[in-house]
Amino acid sequence: MRRDVFKERAPQKFPVLPRVMAKIKLLLALTSLAVCTDLLDGLPYTYLQSGKFTRHKEEFTEKYFTQTLDHFNFNDARNGTFSQRYLISDKSWKKGSGPIFFYTGNEGNIWDFALNSGFITELAVQLEALVIFAEHRYYGSSLPFGKDSFQVPQIGLLTVEQALADYAVMISELRPQLGATRCPVIVFGGSYGGMLSAYMRLKYPNLVAGALAASAPILSTAGMGDSRQFFRDVTTDFEGISPECGDAVREAFRQLSELAGRQDYSQIQAKMSLCKAPSSAQDVHQLYGLLRNAFTMMAMLDYPYSTHFMGNMPANPVKVACDIMLSGPDLLVNLRNTAAVFYNATGVLECLDLYSLYVECADPTGCGLGSNSLAWDYQACTEINLCFESNNLTDMFPAMTFTEKERERYCSKRWGVHPRPEWLGIQFWGDALSTTSNIIFSNGDLDPWANGGVRKSLSSSLVAINIPDGAHHLDLRGSNDADPVSVITARRMESKLIARWVEAEKTRLQHA
């Protein structure tokens, strides 16, 4: 679900609309710090948010926790430990009584989430909380087997269950070390991390008093949704700006398909500014995937201000993209320049390399690049069900299927595994959640992941908060002058509920 920020290569020739690119560059220049880049993952370590609050790496101390390799097999010959990274901030904590806010890290470098989840640290000031961001095993620098972590069979210890057990053990051991045994724990997470925060409340209610599961597609990833939903909702975002925008994208892909049908690969290379001309149907399929991924990312990250989260994005990137798509008569040139909003926002690329900018994997919405993409591909081949398709009928993209059979063939060849399509629904309850409590399911209406999650409240403590004008877990981001009223309201509701859970858990712990 989440992608590493795009790694920029050496400049090559890639013409774009000068006025549009100048506007994008200006927006980025006004809001960006010099971004330090992790050479392995390609993820930004710091960013400057143009608003009331600024996040800095200095807010957190980076530490490592000695974690158990395999929580469930006592006879595992490999059983041992590894170093799991976590970030901690006690700047606002009322030691010994303030709550613990614990972020259940997801598929990437933990710094990227800590520096783009300002709501948690803002709420920590209000409730005098200790803040911990824990990195997920096999991501970032939390590699159980070092450079061999992505080999078979070593990668077999990458499961949702192992990750949850990591967090449970970490919470259990850190609390007494920090003098926090009577401090309520609230877990937070966005996207896959939001799924994990909900699962933590389900599986470890003895440790976790409540959970904020932001943009958590716990139903669709359990195979309980419509395979057409995701790319249909991406399309809806662009058509919401203008129906003509969706029409223009459809027609551009039709023209591209026509060129491919004639095997006019040189023309495709020229129009799309590709570094190398396609030479096969597979290359064209790769191009379709790369272009569809750009629209996906712009829909997910359709924030009202410029960001450096999962890539460099201007404010309101969906509107920027539609303006480009409708900017002139040559729709293929427009399509190329629209893709540049995601792949070439800083303008340093002069051509698109089909196979280095986008990697096809078991997640049709994209696995990203680098080592994190290997871990996510494996998870999408085992427990996380992401069989989404575009069909050119309910969406504006070329017909590209990804059925259970296609997933099984790919995963068997790539990892030697057979997916378990219904396992998440069995293991983590699917939609039968009514017997649990204290979970907030927040979703933004602009987010294509939203309709794969819980959109209706199930009880007074299983609360769905829907955010008009909100993109992918916008509510977890820090306050910004450009925030829509809907996300300000959502954060207030979340704050009140969490404060209530904290007080109830304090009372319970005192009586215990």
- The set of catalytic residues is 191, 447, 472
| Residues 229 and 452: beta-carbon distance below 8 Å | yes
* Two tokens, residue 328: 């002139």
Residue with tokens 């994208």: 249
DSSP letters for 16-53: --HHHHHHHHHHHHHH-PPPPB-TTT--BS----SSS-
DSSP summary character for residue 490: H
Residue 161 in 3-state DSSP? Answer: helix
- Please state, in angstroms and rounded to a whole number, the distance separating the CA atoms of residues 206 and 193: 20
Sign of the CA dihedral with 358 first, then 361, 367, and 370 last = negative
Task: From residue 469, give the alpha-carbon distance in Å to each of 19, 446, 488.
Answer: 27, 6, 11
| Residues 43 and 109: beta-carbon distance below 8 Å | yes
Q: What are phi and psi of 458, to 5 degrees?
A: -105, -20
Residue 133 in 3-state DSSP? Answer: strand
Crossing angle of helices 331-343 and 243-261, rounded to 10°: 110
Please enumerate in sequence order all residues whose Cβ is within 8 A of that of 65, keeping only pairs 6 or more positions apart, or say none.
Answer: 83, 84, 85, 86, 134, 170, 173, 174
Percent of the chain as helix, strand, coil, to the nearest 5? 45, 10, 45
| Residues 298 and 325: beta-carbon distance below 8 Å | no
- Decide: residue 10, CB within 10 A, 0-12 exposed, 13-18 middle, 19+ buried: exposed
Give, in degrees to the nearest 5, the angle at Cα 255 between 254 and 256: 90
Spacing of C-alpha 501 from chain mean position: 27
| Residues 297 and 342: beta-carbon distance below 8 Å | yes
* Two tokens, residue 129: 């909380």
- Decide: residue 205, CB within 10 A, 0-12 exposed, 13-18 middle, 19+ buried: middle
Spacing of C-alpha 88 from chain mean position: 21
- Please state, in angstroms and rounded to a whole number, the distance separating the CA atoms of residues 203 and 201: 6
Helix (H) or strand (E) holding 83: strand 81-89
- Please state, in angstroms and rounded to a whole number, the distance separating the CA atoms of residues 73 and 83: 19
